[in-house]
């Protein structure tokens, strides 16, 4: 039984990051879309319709043309995660990566899993820090924003919807190294943005934060939460449209809020146990970051596609 449980814990802890869960991405997109001017909506609607997977974005959606366009935009925000299980695409980050056939009009069939995050490493106990790997969300976000007006604007838009939301989840902006988490050679190693931090003995820190906006994919829930976030958090008087600012904010919040426990906590032998105060605090951060992501996304689109 101990061996079985060890395997289960390992599989759960080593699971890949899915920032905010698809529901979180859709909530951010819904809130952002509703702030766009009619002209900007028309432009983003046209770009979404040009995407080869437009039929998937509207699958199961019922309503008039305006409703369909809005929900195509909302569903498109999760596309960056959806293709992780799509056989048309391949994981270009693997050493044994086997490229799949390029299908027009896609520029490539890579899953670009390293676009979803940036590891601004930190260590609370003095472990030497490596340089953040590239490419990453930090290197790609400026390109996605600049590419909105290009012939591949449909491709850049769908990726922007996703990655911009990703970096407003604090654990997509950093990773912790401690003397208590080591690789097979005995060297301190990254916790992969909290994916290797055991929480409550059965889940991991990254998954806890991913699910803070909810996991219910129902349209009514997504609309309700988008309205709730707008009510809870008014649009700031000034909005930074610099991805570096977004990422630095997220990294600081991760260190202060997500990793608010000692360096030796979060291992299989000593899992992190959430307190009511931690749960309340993390939920408040998640709501604030999601609302800010929506305001910033709307501002970027309004600026580039007026």
> How does DSSP assign 223-247, residue by residue?
HHHHHHHHHHSPPPSS----HHHHH
State how far the Cα of 52 lies from the Cα of 192, in Å rounded to an integer: 32
The answer to whether 189 touches 203, Cβ cutoff 8 Å, is no
For β-strands 120-122 and 174-182, DSSP reports them as: parallel
Q: Is residue 215 part of a domain?
A: yes
Single out the residue of 178, 204, 211, 197 nearest to residue 282, CA to CA: 211
Res 189: pLDDT:
95
Per the domain annotation, does 164 fall within a domain? yes
Q: At what angle do helices 65-76 and 153-166 cross, to 10 degrees?
A: 60
In a domain, 26, yes or no: yes
Could you tell me which residues are beta bridge partners of residue 64? none
Q: Which residues of the chain have pLDDT under 50?
A: 1-16
Predicted local distance difference test score (pLDDT) of residue 168: 98
CB 115, CB 137: distance < 8 Å: yes
In the block, residue with structure tokens 């105060």: 277
Are 176 and 190 in contact by the 8 Å Cβ rule? The answer is yes
**CATH code, domain carrying 42:** 1.10.575.10
Count of domains for the chain: 1
In a domain, 106, yes or no: yes
Domain range for residue 207?
A: 2-91+101-304
Structure pTM?
0.92
The reported pLDDT for the residue numbered 217 is: 85
> What is the per-residue pLDDT across 285-295, written as a single tens digit (0 to 9) for each?
999 999 999 99
Residue 97 structure tokens: 């990566």
Is 231 contained in some domain?
yes
Domain contains 200: yes
Predicted local distance difference test score (pLDDT) of residue 172? 98
**C-beta separation of 62 from 51 below 8 A:** no
The whole-angstrom separation of Cα 77 and Cα 157 is 9
Q: What is the pLDDT of residue 146?
A: 98
Q: Give the single-character DSSP code of 272.
A: B
Closest residue by Cα to residue 233 from 293, 278, 287: 287
According to the model, what pLDDT value does residue 1 have? 37
In a domain, 96, yes or no: no
Q: Write the pLDDT tens digit of every residue in 57-83.
A: 999 999 999 999 999 999 999 999 999
Residue 22 lies in a domain: yes
Please tell me the predicted confidence (pLDDT) of residue 151.
97
pLDDT for res 20: 74
């Amino acid at each position: 039984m101990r061996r079985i449980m060890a395997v289960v814990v390992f599989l759960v802890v080593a699971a890949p990051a899915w920032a905010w869960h698809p529901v979180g991405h859709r909530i951010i997109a819904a809130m952002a879309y509703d702030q766009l001017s009619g002209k900007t909506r028309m432009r983003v609607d046209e770009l979404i319709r040009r995407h080869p997977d437009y039929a998937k974005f509207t699958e199961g959606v019922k309503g008039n043309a305006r409703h369909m366009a809005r929900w195509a935009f909302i569903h498109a925000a999760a596309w960056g995660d959806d293709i992780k299980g799509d056989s048309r695409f391949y994981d270009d980050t693997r050493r044994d990566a086997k490229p799949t056939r390029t299908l027009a009009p896609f520029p490539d069939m890579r899953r670009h899993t390293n676009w979803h995050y940036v590891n601004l490493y930190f260590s609370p106990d003095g472990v030497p820090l490596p340089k953040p790997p590239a490419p990453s969300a930090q290197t790609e976000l400026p390109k996605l924003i600049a590419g909105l007006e290009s012939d591949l604007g449909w491709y850049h838009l769908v990726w922007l919807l996703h990655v911009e939301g990703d970096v407003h989840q604090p654990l997509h902006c950093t990773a912790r190294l401690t003397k208590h988490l080591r690789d097979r050679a005995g060297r301190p190693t990254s916790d992969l943005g909290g994916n290797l931090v055991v929480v409550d003995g059965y889940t991991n820190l990254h998954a806890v934060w991913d699910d803070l906006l909810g996991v219910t994919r129902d349209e009514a829930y997504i609309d309700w939460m988008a309205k709730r976030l707008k009510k809870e958090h008014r649009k700031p008087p000034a909005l930074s449209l610099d991805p570096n600012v977004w990422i630095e904010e997220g990294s600081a919040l991760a260190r202060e809020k997500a990793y608010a426990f000692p360096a030796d906590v979060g291992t299989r032998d000593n899992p992190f146990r959430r307190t009511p105060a931690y749960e309340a605090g993390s939920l408040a951060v998640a709501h604030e970051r999601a609302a800010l992501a929506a305001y910033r996304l709307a501002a970027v689109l309004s600026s580039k596609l007026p």
